[in-house]
Every structure is written in C-alpha cells, then in structure tokens.
Chains A and B, each alone.
Chain A
C-alpha cells in the first residue's frame, strides 16, 4: 500500500460517483467498498450527523461527534457534506446532487424515504440512470417492510441463530458484531456494482433492494437447509458443539485461550494423535472414525481437553498444522492485530485523523495488484466538504453556501 502518493494508479472504480446517504454500518460499509476502490463517494449527512457518530467506540469512552471509531472505520476515502433533506431547499439540493451521480447508497427505512419525498419513483424521475442501492433489515416489499429494525433483528429473522449459534435451549446468539449489516453491505456492493457496470444493457438505472435478513436466510441458512426441510419436513437446530456429525470439530480451551479443534479425515486425526504423543485412549476402537468419535463426543472432548489445557494455542496450531491437521488458534482481536502474517501482507495501515490522531486501521479487504485500493484518507468531519462539493457539483458560490448554512439547510 502506498498511501497518498499522487503517482499511485487510479482505483478500480475510478469514474463512478456515489452518494452515500446511509447511517451506522450497512450502507456506509457498502459505500466504503466503493470509495476505498477509487469511486468518488460523497457522504451526505443530516445536520445532526450519521448515528454512528454517537455510537462509539470513543477514546476513553468519552462521546464526541468527531471521535467515533465506528464512524471512522466505515467512512474512509469519502468526502462529507451535510444536507437537511426534510427542508424543501435541502431536498432540492439533494436531488440535484443525484443528477450528477451514478449511484445512491442508503439504508433508511422505506417509510422514512417516502416521508422525505425520496421514494424510488421520484429518484428515478430525477435521474433515470441512477442506481439506487437500498439496504434495510427486511427489504422494500413484503409485510415486514414497514417494520422498525436493526442488525440484531435482521440476523435473528434469518434462521442463522436458531440453527447455528448458541447452546440448545439457551438464547440463540449473534456474532458479537453487526453480522447482518456486513452481510447485507457486501451483497449490496456486488449487486449494486453489477447494476452500474451493466447499466446500458439493463436499459438504465434501477433499484437494488437488499434485505439483510433475506440475504442470510437464503444464501447461508437456506442453501444448506431448505432443500431438506422442503422434502423431508425436518430441520436441525444449534447444538452448541460445533459440528455434530463429526469429531473433533469444536472450540476447546487451552492454557492461554482457545483453539478450533478440527481433525475429521483419517490423515488429520492421525496428525493430531502424533502431536498429542499418541496417548493410549486414542487407539480405542470407538475413536477410529469421525462419526463414531462424534457419537462419543463427550468422552473424546474430555480427553482432548486435558491435553489442550496443558498447551498454548499458538503452539497447538503450529504443531497441528505441521502434522496436516486444520487446527487454528482462536485469535483475540489483539492477537489478530499482532499476527506476523497480516503484517507481512500489509493488511494494517497507519492513518492520521485530525481529532483521533494517528491510529492503526484495517486495510483493503482484497488486493487488486493493478489498481490497489484501501483506506487512505480519514473519514470526513461533519460538513467538512460542504463548500468544495456544493461549489464543484452544483456551482454554488461562497455566499450561497453561507446562506444555506445560516438557515441550517447544510
């Protein structure tokens, strides 16, 4: 990564202009994928700012509208302007911006967009070539389209938690992050970019309607479960174990944390045996294939746990990997940050923010050697690029901008 070098090649998405009218995670992360790979992304915030600005995490847990880590992460490489679309003049400005844009990315509830007079029909009339990427928990149509919802609600509507996440009889779990929002964001980026790329074939712009819940319900849960349910009328639920049909396939504690213990195929199992110094119990008949090991999971997990508890997770991973066994350490965030592998691949980038100072950020999620991407410029301060963007795109003069600011339109 060569940050801020003028000679650096233009990004893969050079030539595409995007308006990001999103808040929190799903739409901003989708728009970040466009901005980090070279599109000109203008983030439009309401005068009070993206809700992520108040959602933290903040340095020292002290809330500050310019110091939210969530906002920082999801808005790199964007220019930021403010616009009160609830104000008639603000709404007009917003629509004029869209005339100069290829894509709008937003994650407001449909009723909110309608209340602002920004329903898709109006947007399409303003700019028939505009691709509108709308990301919501439940989608633009259907009986739940009017529901209020967040990442948590979308995830748990997808079937993912009941099936795969948590112990039986206990609360189904989310991933501890915005798992549905991220899933919806990458889905929207793929389908949305295709709609831009193929605009001439498609005959113009269109609305790309992404439901975070539906994307997960279909591709993650549905893919491997719905065929069976439809045909046989039965379905599975979370076991809390990891993989119920084969063993070992679970997370086990070790001396300094946890490992993902996986040894299913005969070669893998023999590798693990070797690493454990071939204990006597491992030669028992009931442990000789992955199915019978799974049937005796309680017993075998006790045996393996005794061993893992005596060893460090990095050591276990290293030795098992060398023995052909796909065991991995469960990295904490701090351990991931210190990973020589990720460092050798320049996954982390140092960035400078006027309020947060210097900090280490995650870099590009994938490498395009011919046109490197990744975050280079920090997220914008609230309204930072008002004068620049309104002048450049809408030819407003300094006096116009001042007047609009005085009337709280921008």
Chain B
C-alpha cells in the first residue's frame, strides 16, 4: 500500500460556498480525501456565475475562477429545501468523517443539519464551521465580505503608504488563508479522533485565525502600547533596512529588496558599484540604516530606476542580496520558477474545453496529487446516490425528476 495520498479513505461532505469553504475541501482533496461539495441548481453558488467563462460562453459550469478555486472538490446536487433531500444529505453524512460549512452561525441548525442532528447519524462526526467571527459572541452575526473581514483583525490598519491612510487590499487574502488554515484544523480534529474515538464541532472564527497575522504589531502593542499604522513595505519590526520596493525600467516594473544582515548590505553596496553615499556613517550599521531609511530608500530608488527588474534581481542575487522582481498576473504563467514547479497546469474539463488552473501548490516527495478541474454541478450524483447509498435506479430517476437531486 505504498505511495497512496495521505488522506485516502477520508470522506468530506462540504457545504462550503463561495471561496473559503471550498478551499478547505480543495486542500483536503489535494491530500487524498474524497470531498463532496453539496450544492444545488435551485440556488447556484454565486461564484459559479463569475466571469470570465470558458470560451466566453456563460454557464454555471464554465466559470474559470470557480474551477481553479474548487478543484479537488467533487459535487453532489441536492435541493436542501426539500425534506427528502435533507434525508439524503444525512444518509451521506452517516458515511462521512468530516462535514465542512462556512455559513453564518445557526444556518446549519435551520437547515436541519446542526451538530446534534449530525451526531445522531454519525456519532464521531467532525463538524467544521468557519463563520466570520465564530459561533458565539457579541459579533456572532456580523456581516462581512472576505474583503472587509480583515478590518476586524487590525490587519487593514497596517496596509498603506507610510504615514498615510489605510489602503484597501482589493481581494480577500483571508479566504484562501482561512481555507487552508481550516484544513489544518480539520486534520487536528481527525488526529484527536484517532487518539480518542471522539469527534467534535470545530469553531473556526475567520477573524481570530486571520488576526494571528498581526502578531508583530500585536506584540509591539502589548509590550509598548503602540498601535501601529501603515508604513509601506518597511520591515514589520524595523529589523531590516533597506526593506522596500523600488522602481525599475518600464511601465509599472518594480523590484523588492530586503537587507537584514551586514553581509547583505556589503553585497548591495558592491552591486551598486560602491557609491560614496553608501560609505557614510549614516548607513554603516543596521540601526543607522533603520533610522535613515527614507533617505536610504531614495538613494536606492535612484539607482534601481535604470534597470530591468529581472536582470537587476539576478545581479543582486549574485551578490547575495535578497531581491525579487515584483510580478504581475501576466508574468506568473511565464515565470521560470513557476514553470519549473508546474504551479499552473492546463487541464481538460469534462465539458471538453481546456483551462488553466493551479495544481498542487505544495510539492510532496512521495505522493503527487492528481489534479482535476473544479466540478460541474452534480457530477458525482450517480456514484454517490446509486453506488454509495445504494439507491435503486427507478428511485434515483424519480428523485431527479422531482428535483430533489437537483
């Protein structure tokens, strides 16, 4: 039984929708779990309607972003407003190890799928819930988008140009972050179940999980009472200088440069051709550079401006300096590093079109995931209802006709 994926045999029923919930399932799926997303044509997940669509033809099974973010999930379609559909969902859960959901608190109960009900059909079930701010507390029913959730953690107050107002991050970094983090929480609960035989209801507050990211600012607050604010790309604890993004030749081309150690500073000075300004005491030591960082960054920006970003990164790396080009979306597909690691792959969708999605974004030396496109609605119905739940063919056809399986 060598070289199987590590979660083979684990079955996950995923009520997750939009982005964070599906990514929990995706991650577990990449790792070998059988993941079945429960969704319905009666109320299509909004991200299935996000353009662009494959070949420009709109349709809930053709959303290109949806396919990448949900790869790894299977799909079963059940119209949960129907009592019979609910019964089928519970029968499926009775065969499962984990149930995932990212609704607001109380929604699963209202659907008839609360933790106590799930335990009746599967005593050691693990229910993983990831509402915005947790399952209880004064902000229990707070309304957020992933975009704005980060504002409740203090994180947004740190993003922006030095001394200026906060600048909004324009997509939900918290969604894939919490989704992957959630997979860790599920695995921890699985490990506990293996140790003790008991399942549990995991309360994963996205606010609290994401707030871990503000730790450097948090510690400055707890130790010094300072509350932090935007400071461009400077080091979060002022332990490096230079530490920034500098302009390069061309339209919107930039390079990131970070110097933590004295050897790196020597390397940077050498790469710049030993300019006089760099030899002055104002820049001689790390504490000196940190205290003169604005002037330091101006000098470096003057120098970087004339170079191509990739050539300059390679040149700085030859001098041992930590530097990288600032890539845009168009660069990602062609970047030699991502090409070498098969970060993005082309797959053929069951509907016949080809699409580019991301593959296993972690490389494991023993077992490589098999990456399939995101699911069409109900693509696993036949296997799940006919084979797994052993529903006779005539009954299965009736359930489809009655839009229970729908």
Contacts and interface: CB of A to CB of B under 8 A. Distances in A.
B161 A173 contact: yes
Nearest to A227: B64
Interface in B135-170: 136-139, 142-145, 147-149, 151-161, 165-170
Nearest to A153: B324
Interface stretch (B36-44, B363-371, B379-387): B363-371
Contacts of B122: none
B112 interface: no
B88 interface: no
Interface in A173-190: 173-179, 182-183, 186-190
B2 A203 contact: yes
B358 A223 contact: yes
Interface string B326-354: 11111111011110110110100000000
B343 A217 contact: yes
B177 A186 contact: yes
Contacts of B173: 160, 164, 175, 179, 183, 220
Identify which of B147, B161, B189, B363 gathers the most chain A CB atoms within 10 Å of its CB.
Answer: B363
A275 B372 CA distance: 47
B159 A366 contact: no
A199 interface: yes
A211 B208 CA distance: 24
Interface stretch (A67-75, A285-293, A397-405): A67-75
Interface stretch (B74-82, B180-188, B277-285): B180-188
Contacts of A227: 52, 64-65, 67-68, 355-357
Nearest to A317: B142
A205 B364 CA distance: 10
A42 interface: no
Given A335-B154, A366-B202, 6 more contacts: A33-B184, A163-B170, A171-B247, A251-B166, A325-B143, A328-B144
A99 interface: no
A162 interface: yes
Nearest to B23: A219
Nearest to B4: A201
B361 A367 contact: no
A209 B185 CA distance: 20
Contacts of A356: 223
Given A175-B169, A208-B364, A260-B156, A347 B324 contact: no
Contact of B195 (A14, A51, A330, A359): A14
Contacts of B300: none
B323 A223 contact: no
Identify which of A159, A198, A199 gathers the most chain B CB atoms within 10 Å of its CB.
Answer: A198
A223 B65 contact: yes
A170 B327 contact: no
Contact of A144 (B201, B212, B337): B337
A239 B213 CA distance: 24
Given A56-B238, A251-B168, A260 B357 contact: no
B33 to A, nearest CB: 9
A190 B187 contact: yes
A70 B216 contact: yes
A251 B361 contact: no
Given A153-B323, A228-B52, A194 B7 contact: yes
Contacts of A366: 181-182, 185, 202-205, 208-209
B362 A209 contact: yes
Interface in A129-185: 137-144, 146-179, 182-183
Given A187-B361, A201-B5, A331-B152, A164 B166 contact: no
Interface in B28-74: 28, 31-32, 52, 54-55, 64-65, 67-69
A110 interface: no
Given A176-B231, A197-B6, A218-B344, A223 B176 contact: yes
